[in-house]
Structure 1
Amino acid sequence: MTNTIFFKGLAVAFMALFIVSCDKDYNSIGSDIVGNENFLFEKYTGPLSIKSSNQITGPVQTNGLYIHQLGVIDNSLFGGPNEVTKNHFATQLALSDFEPEIHSGVQVDSVVLTVPYFSTKLSTDSNGWGKYDLDSIYTSNTVDQEFDAIKLKVYRNGYTLNSYDPNEDFATAKKYYSDDNSKFSSNIVDNVLNNDPDVKQNDQFVPDKKEYVRFKVDGDLNMMPKTNENVQSRSNPRMRLKLDKNYFKTAILDAARDETNLGTKQFFTNNSNFRSYFKGLYFQVEQIGANYTSMMLDFAKGNVTIYYKQHKTDNDTSANPELEMKELVLNMSGQMVNLFENNVSIPSGDSRIYLKGGQGSMAFIELFSGTELQQLRDKKVLINDASLYFTVDSSLGNPNRIYLFDANNDKVLYDYSIDPTSVSTNPKINKFIFGGILYKDDQGVKKYRIRITDHIRRVLASSDYDKENVRLGLVVTESINNVSNLALKNKFTLPALPSGFVKEFDKIPSGSVVSPNGVVLFGTDSSLDPDKKVKFEIYYTKPN
């Protein structure tokens, strides 16, 4: 698998991690050390119990996401050999101009759907043409920056998307889930819209990393020669699909002009009316052979633009009416829903930890026994560093980050909250002291390290430490900066903790829902090689 996500500034972050890991005093004892006492720094070697368990999430809420997936991606580690995940998508559209002025003599030049790719500009040649790398695209093609084809169809959606739930008297925000695909596939309106003869736009769709250049038009509204002097604008690479111009002329332009049917014309007075008339678009993908390509896209930056000519003066009946060039932009906004088709199955037992984004799987971690906590408390030590280490067994896409959170209370750990670190060139590695970033140890083994120093301090300092020793949740994440939660369609109840706490788990971090990747880690089973199983290490300071 080729993972085209490129982490800028990663070397800087790892250097910072190295410095912090060597400094066992980092944010540890502060004002707790007074006087001129001598202190010893030790590693706690007494038993540290750690237990892991896996959980398939089932369908997850997929409206309200900040990034969406589109395409086909490998799912073999979580669903059996040759298993893939199909990522479909549906979106509402919004008028950029209400009550557009459509004159007589309308001729549609083209209808173009565009969504920008995540990309990095590498260079500009002497003619001004930019060279780009595309980010956040996953493919079975092993050639760098080349992608295998998938089948992509865009339809007019016939399924109504609501912002609020009609079953709750429209008082509750409506939730849509990853397994809702049949609601859309069974409500397709008319034929496929991206029906251009160029198969790279439909039956053999391949992301294009070329810069998009728009050229000027002459006085007769014809495109001028494609020379540097005639360049009107340049844009970063983007998905550009030519849609059926006759369909959009009838369904949009003619309908907006229809003076004989004021009911139809009213659909263009505001977006609420427009969305009841044109419910949006549905993107459907299919695999071609054994190949796959999946993209992460910010559809909120996408639109459908209708380019058309019309009489400059309405109802001009002269022999040679003057024409004008116009555009009508339909922005992708409102409700957007990702729809995942996959099968997720994982073995039982705690020899491995299975983390899969989207409609996938997560894990739970339990630390300490009551006896161990009391032993540490009796030592009256000052915790200098507490970290969890996870070793990679195998992965899909090499998830660059995993995220640990308080699963009892569905919130971040204190270590996350107090970590101020950031990397302006790559926000994906912000909070790198808290960690969870993929790295290689001295032997080249892939691992993740997560610091929970302040969490452990708070547990030990509490008079009710069993209650503070919460169950921890572990997921893959696409963005460490977004720690909001999304609903699970099917709640599940976790076993009681030693404190007696019982949790009905009904939500999951949105960063996991957005992530297309998965990773299998070595777990906590006692039969595992100690160098591979999950490690829980504590360094402390003790007065001499």
Structure 2
Amino acid sequence: MIKKLGIIGVCLLVLAITISCEKDFNDIGTNIVNNGQFSTGSFPLELEITPIDLDEVRADNIGIGSLREYWLGVYNSGDYKTIEASFVSQLTVPANFSLDDKLSIDDTTDESKKVDSVFTLDYVYLKIPYTAVNTRATGDSEPKFRLDSVLGNESIATKINVYRNNTFLNTLDPSNPAQSNKFLSNQIYEKANSAEVLNDKGEAYDFTPKAKDTILPLERKLSNGNVYNDTIKIVDNATKRITTPFIRIQLDRNKMKELFWDKRKDVEFETAAAFNDYFRGVIVEASGNDGSMVPLQLGSNAALDIYYTITTFEKKEGQTNLSVKDTLPRTYSFAFNGVKNSIYKMTPATNATPAENFKIQGTAGTMAQVKVLGLNLNDADAINELKGDSNNNNIDDLTELDVDNNNYLDLKELAELRKIRGAKLLINDASLGFYVNQEISKDTALVPQRLFLYQNKDDGNAPAQLTDAYREIALFGGSLQNADKKPEKYLFRITDYISDLFDGSANDFSSLVLKVYNSPTDDAIKNNQIDENVSSRNWNPRGVTLLNGNTANGEKKAVLKISFSKEKN
């Protein structure tokens, strides 16, 4: 976390020439020696924390390829907003979808090629892989998995309905095609045919997460009506071993026959553009007051699958009737591709936030503004450490800096110390800590593993990275710290940011914002380049209750603690 190290590092190593380095008296870390020329100390800065409650976050894949997680289901924790998590996605037409379903025996004079092939539509399913951990041990005869990050009550079924989306999903902004489009999590999508449900028999699918759902048994048919059994599974092509369990939602065969199967020779399926205009994707919608929610990765194995059977017939030499030559089970997979967006429908929390607490929740857009109220001028210990009398008039310079007479010195007022004292105040460390309310947020698996802090520039219109987020990545922090297997606190070190304000390198004293960290969109360095803009994307539904800066929270109240060194007169 070294700033201007080239000159200052030499100054520290050679103490005899410290005075000659006054012009580079800046932040150099926490290892300042308290010697005859410097004294050290620390003081807490009071914070004013105000909840921010947005109606939406950004949840599409435009510009980033894919979200790390798409959630499906209902999560009702009681202490945070209830989330009904759904998604919308375009589909991709498989390359061979316009294949002829019949080659007549009369189309060739080659006796060996006189084969009839008849295609029979069996089923249509949505196949959506879980995010799962393989727990299969050596010697296990059956596949074993553990579902990752299931939230909520797995014993309560969530209703899932599938609709045909009628809203055109465009990657470019229709009002300004030179700009990328965006879809927020509360986007309303028009459902085709008066919100006609595509589920089998028009009935909602009762969803409860099951790690054992690794095989889908199907009873398939030959062209003559005879039945045979088949199984669908997701396997590794090399080992043929099952790689993951998956959700399977059966769609209405007759509706999908009309929409897809019977039209596969038509112009709507000739190009991707034509298809995306004809069939604008699927809306997979969860609803309910309670249940469970799971993370999904809508990659190559997530698809709308059309299962069909090819029955091939041949006319053998010397025979006049056709006989069955082969039975071929096949699948047309319409992969979830193109524009995808998470949809979050939220209702208020059941339990009220306790006094002197505040909540943070990712997908719900629940954040907090953190304003540095400043140094309380009634804090005698801090005043004694900082005060000075540069004019030798027995007047405490700090009280003169309180221009708004609120009995606090905010960051801007404290920064004026450099003008009064010749820039002889060195910020060694600035740490911002938030303690967890362990009575509410008890489970480390249910709280965010990391929070994120950024600067709310231009009243929130230009959210920006703090300099520590890219200059001091290893020290910036924000990760959850546990104590006795319980969530304890989140700690940020913003020394570089505070030092820049105190030494005049920066002059934007905008408030800060605390939110749930979202990987990788919140990272300040992307593709080896600094990106100072902060995105509103978030796909982490977890929440945490934190103690605010009120004195009622005692030693666990939220504060910005600054450690400093100053040159003695």
Q: 1:207 to 1:461 in 2, by over 3 A?
A: same
Partner in structure 1 of residue 563 of structure 2: 539
Aligned equivalent of 1:410, options 446, 463, 478: 463
Partner in structure 2 of residue 74 of structure 1: 76
Aligned equivalent of 1:328, options 314, 332, 335: 332
Counting only pairs closer than 5 Å after superposition, residues 244-255 of structure 1 correspond to structure 2 as: 244-255=252-263
Between the two proteins, the alignment pairs up a number of residues equal to 455
Partner in structure 2 of residue 101 of structure 1: 99
For 1:29 and 1:60, how far apart are their aligned partners in 2?
Answer: 38
**CA deviation after TM superposition for structure 1 residue 448, in Å:** 0.7
TM-score between the two structures when normalised by the length of structure 1: 0.72
CA RMSD in angstroms, aligned pairs only: 4.0
Partner in structure 1 of residue 114 of structure 2: none
**CA deviation after TM superposition for structure 1 residue 354, in Å:** 2.7
Q: 1:217 to 1:535 in 2, by over 3 A?
A: same
Q: 1:109 to 1:224 in 2, by over 3 A?
A: closer
Share of identical aligned residues, percent?
Answer: 22
For 1:137 and 1:477, how far apart are their aligned partners in 2?
Answer: 19
Task: Judge conservation of contact 2:43–2:561 (CA < 8 Å) in 1.
Answer: no
**CA deviation after TM superposition for structure 1 residue 248, in Å:** 2.7
Partner in structure 2 of residue 308 of structure 1: 308
Residues 1:63 and 2:60 aligned together: yes
**CA deviation after TM superposition for structure 1 residue 78, in Å:** 4.6
Partner in structure 2 of residue 358 of structure 1: 363
Q: Which moved more, 1:85-94 or 1:51-60?
A: 51-60
Q: 1:443 to 1:294 in 2, by over 3 A?
A: closer
For 2:97 and 2:255, how far apart are their aligned partners in 1?
Answer: 19
Task: Judge conservation of contact 2:480–2:490 (CA < 8 Å) in 1.
Answer: yes
Q: 1:196 to 1:212 in 2, by over 3 A?
A: farther
State the one-letter code of the partner of 1:533. Answer: K
Residues 1:521 and 2:542 aligned together: no
For 2:451 and 2:194, how far apart are their aligned partners in 1?
Answer: 37
Which segments of 5 or more consecutive residues in structure 1 lack a partner in the other structure? 1-25, 142-146, 258-264, 422-432, 485-506
Partner in structure 2 of residue 11 of structure 1: none
CA offsets 1:407-438 (integer angstroms, 9 cap, x no match): 214232222213455xxxxxxxxxxx322112
State the one-letter code of the partner of 1:406. Answer: Q
Q: 1:238 to 1:543 in 2, by over 3 A?
A: farther
Aligned equivalent of 1:113, options 92, 116, 126: 126
CA offsets 1:384-426 (integer angstroms, 9 cap, x no match): 32211101223493122110012214232222213455xxxxx
Counting only pairs closer than 5 Å after superposition, residues 102-501 of structure 1 correspond to structure 2 as: 102-104=100-102, 105-141=118-154, 148-166=156-174, 168=175, 170-181=177-188, 183-184=189-190, 190-194=196-200, 202-210=204-212, 212=214, 222-223=228-229, 232-257=240-265, 265-287=266-288, 291-301=290-300, 302-312=302-312, 319-320=322-323, 322=325, 323-344=327-348, 351-367=356-372, 368=374, 369=410, 370-375=412-417, 378=421, 380-393=424-437, 394-395=440-441, 397-408=446-457, 409-419=462-472, 421=474, 433-441=475-483, 446-462=488-504, 465=506, 467-479=507-519, 482-483=522-523
Task: Judge conservation of contact 2:198–2:255 (CA < 8 Å) in 1.
Answer: no
For 1:205 and 1:518, how far apart are their aligned partners in 2?
Answer: 24
In our comparison, the structure showing a higher alpha carbon Rg is 2
State the one-letter code of the partner of 2:123. Answer: S
State the one-letter code of the partner of 1:173. Answer: S
For 1:194 and 1:510, how far apart are their aligned partners in 2?
Answer: 37
CA offsets 1:321-369 (integer angstroms, 9 cap, x no match): 5444332110101222222222348989993333222243211222341
State the one-letter code of the partner of 1:387. Answer: S
State the one-letter code of the partner of 2:509. Answer: N
**CA deviation after TM superposition for structure 1 residue 445, in Å:** 6.1
For 2:296 and 2:418, how far apart are their aligned partners in 1?
Answer: 48
CA offsets 1:231-277 (integer angstroms, 9 cap, x no match): 944121222223333433332122113xxxxxxx1111111111122
Q: 1:89 to 1:268 in 2, by over 3 A?
A: same
**CA deviation after TM superposition for structure 1 residue 537, in Å:** 1.5
Partner in structure 1 of residue 381 of structure 2: none
Task: Judge conservation of contact 2:480–2:487 (CA < 8 Å) in 1.
Answer: no
Q: 1:311 to 1:56 in 2, by over 3 A?
A: same
For 2:362 and 2:159, how far apart are their aligned partners in 1?
Answer: 23
CA offsets 1:431-482 (integer angstroms, 9 cap, x no match): xx3221122347966211111122222222225x5x2333212111242564
Task: Judge conservation of contact 1:213–1:233 (CA < 8 Å) in 2.
Answer: no
For 1:191 and 1:405, how far apart are their aligned partners in 2?
Answer: 43
CA offsets 1:276-331 (integer angstroms, 9 cap, x no match): 222221112222xx632112222244112212123558999963354443321101
Task: Judge conservation of contact 1:148–1:292 (CA < 8 Å) in 2.
Answer: yes
Q: 1:53 to 1:225 in 2, by over 3 A?
A: closer
State the one-letter code of the partner of 1:51. Answer: E
For 2:40 and 2:78, how far apart are their aligned partners in 1?
Answer: 40
**CA deviation after TM superposition for structure 1 residue 194, in Å:** 4.6
